[in-house]
Amino acid sequence: MNTPVDMSTKSTAARLAAAQVKAEALTEALPWIKTFAGATIVIKYGGNAMVSPELQQSFADDIAFLRFAGIRPVVVHGGGPQISAMLKRLGIESEFKAGQRVTTEEAAEVIRMVLSGQVNRDIVSRINQNGDAAIGLSGEDADLLLANRTTAEVDGETIDLGRVGEIAQVNTTVLTELLDAGRVPVICSIASEIGGEAGKPLNINADLAASAVAKALKAHKLIMLTDVPGLYANWPDTSSLISRIDPDKLRELLPSLDSGMIPKMTAALEAIEHGVKQAHIIDGRMAHSLLLEVFTSEGIGTMVEDTIVEPAPLGDGHQGTQEDENE
């Protein structure tokens, strides 16, 4: 005779098992929370990571978690899919060269409208569902990002990209005041042109903008969310994913990379060369990819690093990286 199964007992056991898994995840995160307490982390957000509402909310929740864990996150975003969609609606062709969007005067106005008026507002609104910490900024606000016009080189030929810029100066005073007040700056990647006409923005590649902000703030980490799992040594061989690479090896690989990956890896390399301790390329299509990178021992994606950073041991009285941040 079979003994009846007490479904309530079985259900309780399942819930407890699930809760235990969550508790173990928090325990694993503890040394990393301690390591990065007080650290500034710059996160580039864009591309396919911001297409679906589910991924958008996942990202916003991750940013809120970082803040509540004592980290100082700064978000720098683009909005390629939204920009391309709006340009198409308006009958304006999208063109890319050397991994960057060719930006006409007409396109520059559309880009400003989409990034400042649509994408930035949405990111800020989602983060603020977990508390009113996020502040939306354009690179034009308070001369936050100042840039010079730039060109690209393709096969030895100089290419005019139109109203595309390279950041020359970051107003760190504004950002530091916001971070010290417990705010999360959310910056869209357009800039004022140095010596240029007022009201004529420059379009800035979001990866390079995030790198410039990370360098200026002397951030601990630069994390770039993209639409691939990381850097591959032999694309499209998915088994050739590089989990960690040093700057010298990356310099060797850079000329052989796909045009879309070049700005990302250039941004990572420049950040490391200017004192940022770690730069990461991670798959933004994965829910909570940001937390997986920051708070797990395995991490995800590709990390560019000169010196290996180990988690702070528990019980040693060390309060994370605040001392390093103040040097």
CA–CA gap between residue 133 and residue 67 (Å, rounded): 9
Q: How far apart are CA 113 and CA 107, in angstroms?
A: 10
Residues in the chain: 327
Residue type, 229: P
More confident of the two residues 99 and 273: 273
- What amino acid occupies position 137? L
CA distance 225 to 292: 12
Annotated binding-site residue? 326: no
Extract the tokens encoding 261.
Answer: 């990956």
The per-residue DSSP string of 259-305 comes to TTTHHHHHHHHHHHHTT-SEEEEEETTSTTHHHHHHHSSS--SEEEE
Per-residue confidence band for 205, with pLDDT thresholds at 50, 70 and 90: very high
- Per-residue pLDDT tens over the stretch 176-194: 999 999 999 999 999 999 9
Residue closest to 289 by CA, chosen among 37, 54, 123, 31: 54
139 annotated as ligand-binding: no
Domain segments of the chain: what residues? Answer: 36-87+116-137+170-189+202-326
Predicted local distance difference test score (pLDDT) of residue 163: 96
- CATH 3.40.50.620, applies to 36-87+116-137+170-189+202-326: no
- Whether the per-residue pLDDT at 29 is higher than 90: the answer is no
Supply the pTM of this predicted model: 0.87
Would the annotation count 203 as a binding residue?
A: yes
- Check the annotation: does 171 bind a ligand: no
pLDDT in tens, 235-245: 878 888 999 99
Pairing of the two strands 134-138 and 72-77: unpaired
* Helix (H) / strand (E) containing 85: helix 80-89
pLDDT digits (tens, 9 = 90+) for 7-21: 566 688 888 877 787
> Mean pLDDT throughout 75-82?
94
